[in-house]
Amino acid sequence: MKNIVVVGLGEMGASLAKILNRQSENLVVGVDINDNSLTYAKKNNIVKQVSLELKQVAKEADIIILATPVTYIESSIRQLATLPLKKDVVITDTGSTKRDIMAVVEQVLTPKNVRFVGGHAMAGTHQSGIMQANEALYQDVPYFLIPSSISKTSDIQDVLKPINADFMSISIKKHDELMSVISDVPHILAFSLMNTATNQLGDVSNFGHFVAGGFKDTTRIAESDPKLWADVLLSNKEAILSSQSILMQQLKLFSQAIENNDSVNLMSLISSAQKSRKNLLR
Amino acid sequence: MKNIVVVGLGEMGASLAKILNRQSENLVVGVDINDNSLTYAKKNNIVKQVSLELKQVAKEADIIILATPVTYIESSIRQLATLPLKKDVVITDTGSTKRDIMAVVEQVLTPKNVRFVGGHAMAGTHQSGIMQANEALYQDVPYFLIPSSISKTSDIQDVLKPINADFMSISIKKHDELMSVISDVPHILAFSLMNTATNQLGDVSNFGHFVAGGFKDTTRIAESDPKLWADVLLSNKEAILSSQSILMQQLKLFSQAIENNDSVNLMSLISSAQKSRKNLLR
């Protein structure tokens, strides 16, 4: 019997817990600061046992999955470094940025008999909370595994196999660069565009009726959770600031071409974008 | 019998022509520089008659609808100013920006016995061409009508009634400001984000597999036609440059909050965006 502790029963954690809890060889224990979530999780067979505190269940765990927002993942790692744990316990997380988390791991966990593999699935909706628990959430989704100096990725990959994700190893730096471009900066753009629209046009009741599919699509992810995204953006600072500055240069190229009535240059900027976008879904 | 000339049988023009051509009181004449489009249009009952040149059919027209890209709309208006036309012919266009077009109208058409009402429907996909002709394209879609000094909007609204759009009058300035924020700048963002991604991460084969729904949605309109969008962006220059600079300020607020680890400010920026976006679909 594998004792699996899942910390944080939001959409990501609860979905993982629910799938792992179906496997007869697992005993899944849910940890959350929200009592209602724990009651819901037990009642709906998302977990077998529950606890309000990690420290009460950590010592029995074979696997610990940290599925809270990024800042809480870091404090949980620090807390685990001070707790009695099973020899060779495997710890992993689901944080969407890896640099800060892996730095804490190397700083506080290295001397102990634990293993840690960073994890990040390209799954999740803009919804949040345990009510979104969904056993198909990880199906065929890219799931990055980030080795640390105290781990090999295969240990955690075997445990997570039932979620049917598309697992792959990646370095911290490559992961965070990739995320800044394909996820963080797109969110900042969506937020900024919504704020620009309300600044320029007033409340959405003034312009919401006129927006077409393009505006709706471009701003869809602006509905994401503020606390979660403030955490994500702050935890991937260096990569984001660098990608943002490249984006600003691109925007300036457009402004300049428009300013100069330079339709040749403008068409070439648009054509490259169009070509890449067309290849994206091939 | 109303003689209706539709110039430009792309998605917008062909869809309009097809609906109007169903009305027994209309004789719809299609004009396009593409011979294949004319053959297709006649064969598929999109129009009754065809011509490669506006000047050959303009003098019989009661209504002339200019549905080409913006720059051709302007040259067609200049051409119409030199042609013999029916007294009280009503001319309209479907250009997505209005300032330059209405300026040409006021400059060349004012002295003549014609009426001109600017038009712009918030319809259209990122597809283009006559094969996209679609009788439901305008259904319940906001359709702006822009009066000029030689027009009242009701004349053209009566003719266009069968397309079942949601017609409304708007001033040139308000229209172009609105478009810059809800359509032009979102396109520039989508183009710029695609170009940033390929600059940072290489060809899409390197990162296309990892992108989630957020990136796909945010960049969907980057697939738009380069020629068409270069035209649109250049024809709404002033409003776009002003909206772009407000957007850049918003992006800088995000960069600064991230740089300063200012999570309070970051959450407040995200919360305003989230709130507006949630209200958008209400």
Same domain, A139 and A214: no
Q: Does the pLDDT value for residue A4 go beyond 90? A: yes
**Residue in B with minimal Cα distance to A217:** B217
Q: Any residues with CB less than 8 A from the CB of B224 and at least 6 apart, and which?
A: A270, A274, B126, B187
pLDDT (0 to 100) of residue A69: 85
pLDDT (0 to 100) of residue B126: 59
Chain A residue numbers touching B209 (CB-CB < 8 A): 142
CB distance A102 to A146 below 8 Å: yes
Same domain, A90 and A148: yes
Res. A111 pLDDT band, cuts 50 70 90: low
Pairing of strands B115-121, B142-147: antiparallel
pLDDT (0 to 100) of residue B281: 80
Q: Any residues with CB less than 8 A from the CB of A107 and at least 6 apart, and which?
A: none
Distance from CA of A151 to the nearest CA of B (A): 24
Chain A residue numbers touching B238 (CB-CB < 8 A): none
**pLDDT digits over A167-208, tens only?**
999 999 999 999 999 999 999 999 999 999 999 999 888 898
Average pLDDT over residues A61-79: 94
Q: Does the pLDDT value for residue A152 go beyond 70? A: yes
Same domain, B82 and B161: yes
Taking residue A68's Cβ as centre, other Cβ atoms within 10 Å add up to 26
Same domain, B152 and B192: no
A8: left (phi over 0), alpha (psi -120 to 50) or beta: left
pLDDT (0 to 100) of residue B53: 97
Q: Does the pLDDT value for residue B239 go beyond 90? A: yes
pLDDT (0 to 100) of residue A278: 94
Q: Does the pLDDT value for residue B114 go beyond 80? A: yes
Distance from CA of A152 to the nearest CA of B (A): 22
CATH number, domain with residue B200: 1.10.3660.10
Number of domains in chain A: 2
Q: Do A254 and B276 touch (CB under 8 A)?
A: no
Chain A residue numbers touching B125 (CB-CB < 8 A): 213
Same domain, B165 and B226: no
Distance (Å, rounded) from C-alpha B105 to C-alpha B76?
10
Q: What is the rounded end-to-end Cα distance, in angstroms, of chain B?
A: 43
Query: What's the whole-number average pLDDT of chain B?
Result: 93
Compare B211 and B20 and report the one with higher pLDDT. Answer: B20
Same domain, A110 and A129: yes
Q: Any residues with CB less than 8 A from the CB of A215 and at least 6 apart, and which?
A: A193, A197, B182, B183, B186
pLDDT (0 to 100) of residue B123: 83
CB distance A73 to A95 below 8 Å: yes
Same domain, B132 and B184: no
Which of A149, A170, A191 terminates a domain? The answer is A170
Average pLDDT over residues A250-256: 98
Angle, to 10 degrees, between the axis of helix B185-201 and the axis of helix A185-201? 160
Distance (Å, rounded) from C-alpha A149 to C-alpha B12?
60
Q: Does the pLDDT value for residue A110 go beyond 80? A: no
pLDDT (0 to 100) of residue B111: 63
Chain A residue numbers touching B235 (CB-CB < 8 A): none
Same domain, B124 and B258: no
Same domain, A104 and A202: no
Taking residue B210's Cβ as centre, other Cβ atoms within 10 Å add up to 20
**pLDDT digits over B187-234, tens only?**
999 999 999 999 999 988 889 888 878 899 999 999 999 998 998 899
Distance (Å, rounded) from C-alpha A249 to C-alpha B166?
39
Distance (Å, rounded) from C-alpha A10 to C-alpha A21?
16
pLDDT (0 to 100) of residue A23: 95
Residue from B248, B212, B124 nearest A193 by CA = B248
**Residue in A with minimal Cα distance to B253:** A192
Q: Do B194 and A271 touch (CB under 8 A)?
A: no
Q: How many CA atoms, within 13 angstroms, populate the side-chain half-sphere of residue B261?
A: 2
In this structure, of A132-141, A262-271, B108-117, the range with the lowest mean pLDDT score is B108-117
Distance from CA of B41 to the nearest CA of A (A): 27
Res. B125 pLDDT band, cuts 50 70 90: low
Same domain, B10 and B141: yes
pLDDT (0 to 100) of residue A150: 75
Distance (Å, rounded) from C-alpha A165 to C-alpha B119?
50
Which of A142, A170, A198 terminates a domain? The answer is A170
Under 8 Å CB pairs connecting chains A and B tally to 295
Pairing of strands A142-147, A90-93: unpaired
CB distance A175 to A209 below 8 Å: no
Same domain, A42 and A76: yes
In this structure, of A64-73, A203-212, B31-40, B54-63, the range with the lowest mean pLDDT score is A203-212
Query: Which sign, positive or negative, has the C-alpha torsion B44, B48, B52, B53?
Result: negative
Which of B170, B202, B230 terminates a domain? The answer is B170
Distance from CA of A1 to the nearest CA of B (A): 34
Residue from B56, B145, B275 nearest A205 by CA = B275
**Residue in A with minimal Cα distance to B168:** A210
Amino acid code (one letter) for A23: Q
E strand or H helix at A259:
helix A237-259
Res. A126 pLDDT band, cuts 50 70 90: low
pLDDT (0 to 100) of residue A163: 96
Average pLDDT over residues B49-59: 97
Decide: helix, strand or coil at residue A138: coil
Average pLDDT over residues A8-12: 94
Pairing of strands A63-66, A2-7: parallel
pLDDT (0 to 100) of residue A125: 67
pLDDT (0 to 100) of residue A109: 87
Residue from B141, B137, B145, B138 nearest B175 by CA = B145
Res. A128 pLDDT band, cuts 50 70 90: confident
Same domain, B118 and B214: no
CA distances from A51 to A8, A40, A61, A92, A162 (A): 11, 13, 13, 19, 24
**pLDDT digits over B268-280, tens only?**
999 999 999 999 9
Distance (Å, rounded) from C-alpha B50 to C-alpha B42?
7
Amino acid code (one letter) for A257: A
Q: Do A269 and B191 touch (CB under 8 A)?
A: yes
pLDDT (0 to 100) of residue A243: 96
Query: What's the whole-number average pLDDT of chain A?
Result: 93
Average pLDDT over residues B68-83: 93
**Residue in A with minimal Cα distance to B266:** A230
Pairing of strands A63-66, A90-93: parallel
Nearest to B222 among A210, A243, A273 (CB): A273
CB distance B166 to B142 below 8 Å: yes
Distance (Å, rounded) from C-alpha B244 to C-alpha B6?
34
Domain span including residue A41: 2-170
CA distances from A208 to A211, B5, B196, B214, B218 (A): 6, 33, 29, 21, 18
Average pLDDT over residues A127-146: 89
E strand or H helix at A241:
helix A237-259
Residue from A187, A248, A243, A182 nearest A219 by CA = A187
The DSSP string of chain B is -EEEEEE--SHHHHHHHHHHHTSTTEEEEEE-S-HHHHHHHHHTTS-SEEES-HHHHGGG-SEEEE-S-HHHHHHHHHHHTTS---TT-EEEE--S--HHHHHHHHHHTTTSS-EEEEEEES---S--SGGG--TTTTTT-EEEEEE-TT--HHHHHHHHGGG--EEEE--HHHHHHHHIIIIIHHHHHHHHHHHHHHHHH-SHHHHTTT--HHHHHHHGGGGS-HHHHHHHHHHTHHHHHHHHHHHHHHHHHHHHHHHTT-HHHHHHHHHHHHHHHHHHT-
Pairing of strands A26-31, A2-7: parallel
Res. B92 pLDDT band, cuts 50 70 90: very high
CB distance A71 to A12 below 8 Å: no
Average pLDDT over residues B108-137: 84
Percentage above 90 pLDDT, chain B: 79
Chain A residue numbers touching B266 (CB-CB < 8 A): 230, 233-234
CATH number, domain with residue A24: 3.40.50.720
Distance (Å, rounded) from C-alpha A168 to C-alpha A156?
12
